[in-house]
Amino acid sequence: MMPPILAHLVNVLSFAIVLLLVAVVGLLAMLALMRVVLARRERKYDARKERVRPLVMDLMTADGSPEEAAWKLDHLVASRDKKALEQVLLANGRIVKGPEKEMLTYVFEALGFVDEDIENVTRGSDMKKAESAFHLGVMKSARSVPYLLRELRSSNQAVVFASLNALSHIGTPEAISGVMDFMTSDHKLRSSRVAEVLLEKKREFAPLIRERLVIGEARGELLWLLIDVAGAMRDTEAVPVLIAYLDGAGPDAMTVSKAARALGSIGDQAACAPLTNALRDGSPLVRAAAAEALGHLACKDAIGALTGAIHDVDLNVKVNVAFALTKLGPRGHEALTASLSVGEASVAEALGTAAVRSGVPLGVDPR
């Protein structure tokens, strides 16, 4: 026979277990119900988008005026479908340019979507701000630029990135200049992300980057970023200012080596002579970068200087020199073979590394 206290405990425990089970089942049922409701709402929303899509497509592929398109969308789309309409227009805004993009920019403004998103950027939560900033970029709303510039000071990185992205899409002088000023004053952002934004709108940013590349305008990480971006853009107009870094006595070795690499990426033969001179720089960082760039540019006149530089005291320089010589046709190849016959162990090592990197097996005509 169970003592009464124990029986009581068993009863309480059983009741607790039943209660817990009921709670779990209730919770699961509620989650399932929420899922059904959300899925239904999503289906309804998708149906709304499908309802407006043909009209949007029709207007985007017609040769009508933006005013006519805005009028039709305003009068033919029910007010409850306006949010779905904005989404469909935004989806199209991301994939078109030219007259269709201009038409959409007009429509976004005329239907009040720009006002709504500016309102969100000004007063919304951080999530709303970031979303609306992104929308304003797709809308190419020049009117929203001052509001987006203000958000570059936000403490929320998502808001800053979205605003930065939007400004680069809008691309007006005010927007681009604002982004560049922001970069000069604030280096907290990961530079690779900023570089992505700059590269995305290279035509708009290139002149401003060139302006800031002038010696003395920028320094440190910002300058290195700008040099990298100019190289990645293959901005031929930046060649003279980049060459100036090679010739000048002031800049630090990292800056000069970055300028040398950028010149190699851009591919202008005007850089051959200054890069050849840089093979005699005091810094191995600069000499290595110059050798690599000479290889990318395939500077034929640099063969003599490169052949001498294969005996550099720094192994990285040797590797890059060997790499450059593999890119210089039969004469470069002969120079490589001659260097190897000297029997210097580190030269052989450099040649091996360079051959792997350039994909040119030694002994094969690299042309």
State how far the Cα of 316 lies from the Cα of 281, in Å rounded to an integer. Answer: 14
Closest CA to 53 of 73, 27, 75, 31: 73
Q: Measured from the CB atom, is 28 or 62 closer to another protein?
A: 62
Q: Measured from the CB atom, is 51 or 53 closer to another protein?
A: 53
196 binds another protein (CB under 8 A): no
Q: Measured from the CB atom, is 49 or 129 closer to another protein?
A: 49
Closest CA to 222 of 255, 268, 271: 255
Q: Measured from the CB atom, is 17 or 96 closer to another protein?
A: 96
Minimum separation from the CB atom of position 101 to another protein (A): 7
Q: Measured from the CB atom, is 101 or 129 closer to another protein?
A: 101
DSSP-derived secondary structure letter, 98:
T
Minimum separation from the CB atom of position 94 to another protein (A): 7
Minimum separation from the CB atom of position 92 to another protein (A): 7
Segment 59 to 78, residues that bind another protein, using CB under 8 A? 60-63
Residue whose structure tokens are 């952002």 = 189
State how far the Cα of 167 lies from the Cα of 138, in Å rounded to an integer. Answer: 10
**Candidate segments 75-83, 97-105, 235-243, 298-306, binder of another protein by CB under 8 A:** 97-105
State how far the Cα of 29 lies from the Cα of 141, in Å rounded to an integer. Answer: 46
Q: Of 74, 100, 196, 237, which lies in the binding site for another protein, with binding defined by CB under 8 A? A: 100
Q: Measured from the CB atom, is 123 or 203 closer to another protein?
A: 203
State how far the Cα of 357 lies from the Cα of 197, in Å rounded to an integer. Answer: 30
Q: Measured from the CB atom, is 31 or 96 closer to another protein?
A: 96
CA 91 to chain centre: 20
Opening angle at CA 140, ends 99 and 55, nearest 5: 55
Minimum separation from the CB atom of position 102 to another protein (A): 10
DSSP-derived secondary structure letter, 310:
T
Task: Give the length of the chain.
Answer: 367
Minimum separation from the CB atom of position 238 to another protein (A): 18
Minimum separation from the CB atom of position 247 to another protein (A): 29
- Which tokens belong to 31? 């989650």
Q: Of 42, 58, 211, 247, which lies in the binding site for another protein, with binding defined by CB under 8 A? A: 58
Using an 8 Å Cβ cutoff, are 310 and 347 in contact? yes
State how far the Cα of 104 lies from the Cα of 70, in Å rounded to an integer. Answer: 9
92 binds another protein (CB under 8 A): yes
95 binds another protein (CB under 8 A): yes
Helix, strand, or coil (residue 195): helix
Q: Measured from the CB atom, is 25 or 57 closer to another protein?
A: 57
Minimum separation from the CB atom of position 173 to another protein (A): 21
98 binds another protein (CB under 8 A): yes
Q: Of 97, 123, 188, 203, which lies in the binding site for another protein, with binding defined by CB under 8 A? A: 97
Minimum separation from the CB atom of position 176 to another protein (A): 19
DSSP notation for 199-267: HHTHHHHHHHHHHHHSTTS--HHHHHHHHHHHHHHT-GGGHHHHHHHHH-SSS-HHHHHHHHHHHHHHT
Binding residues for another protein, total number by CB under 8 A = 17
Q: Measured from the CB atom, is 56 or 350 closer to another protein?
A: 56
Minimum separation from the CB atom of position 320 to another protein (A): 24
Per-position b or e across 40-53, b if 16+ CB within 10 A of its CB: eeeeeeeebbeebb
Segment 37 to 56, residues that bind another protein, using CB under 8 A? 53
Using an 8 Å Cβ cutoff, are 227 and 259 in contact? yes
State how far the Cα of 224 lies from the Cα of 240, in Å rounded to an integer. Answer: 17
Q: Measured from the CB atom, is 62 or 364 closer to another protein?
A: 62
203 binds another protein (CB under 8 A): no
Q: Of 12, 25, 38, 57, which lies in the binding site for another protein, with binding defined by CB under 8 A? A: 57
Binding site for another protein (CB under 8 A): 53, 57-58, 60-63, 91-92, 94-101
